[in-house]
Structure 1
Amino acid sequence: MGLSVWQILLVVLIFLLLFGRGKIPALMGDLAAGIKSFKKGISDEEQAQPAAKLEQQTVGDKAEQTVNSQQPSA
């Protein structure tokens, strides 16, 4: 029980009537821009994470050095 050619043509015709010929390329362009923006955001986030981890490590190392320097020598 698949789609017949007439059903597919009817769906395409309704789609064209709703969105028009001019709006479809604009819609696809907006979709492409959204995907590019999403990919850029993901790559920016991945680049920011190693820097944040390095910062946490340096803060942890400084705190450890401070604790060690405050302990009296035996």
Structure 2
Amino acid sequence: MGISIWQLLIILAIVLVLFGAKRLKNVGSDLGGAIKGFKKAVSDEDKKEDEKVTAEQKLEQKEGENVFDVKAEQKADEKSETKDKA
């Protein structure tokens, strides 16, 4: 009970008569341009997110390098003080 090939051909013929081949070509190119623009916008958004994540990871890595253990430093100071006393 679906649409047969003949029904599709009749619909296509009616559309061609109503709009003409030139206008259909313009509609097709406009639709293609819109799809291309949409894909570009989506990929640009993904690139921005990737750059943001990469920047955050680099920042976290730098922060991790600058962190040091205060207790270890205090223990080292205590050891040096005990050596100085001896």
* Normalised TM-score (structure 1): 0.59
CA distance, structure 1, for counterparts of residue 5 and residue 34 of structure 2: 33
* Structure 1 residues 6-25: aligned runs within 5 Å: 7-18=7-18, 20-21=19-20, 22-25=22-25
Correspondences of 1:1-74 after superposition (within 5 Å): 3=4, 5=6, 7-18=7-18, 20-21=19-20, 22-65=22-65, 68-69=67-68, 71-72=70-71, 73-74=73-74
Higher mean Cα deviation, 55-64 or 9-18?
9-18
> Partners of 1:44 and 1:53 in 2: how far apart?
14
Identity of aligned residues (%): 25
Aligned residues: 71
State the shift of 1:58 in Å: 2.1
For the pair shown, which has the larger CA radius of gyration, 1 or 2? Answer: 2
Instruction: Find the aligned partners of 2:56 and 2:48 in 1 and give their Cα distance.
Output: 13
Shift of 1:25: 0.9
Where does the alignment leave 5 or more consecutive residues of structure 2 unmatched? 75-86
Q: CA deviation at 1:56?
A: 0.6
Which structure has more RCO (C-alpha within 8 Å, separation ≥ 6)? 2
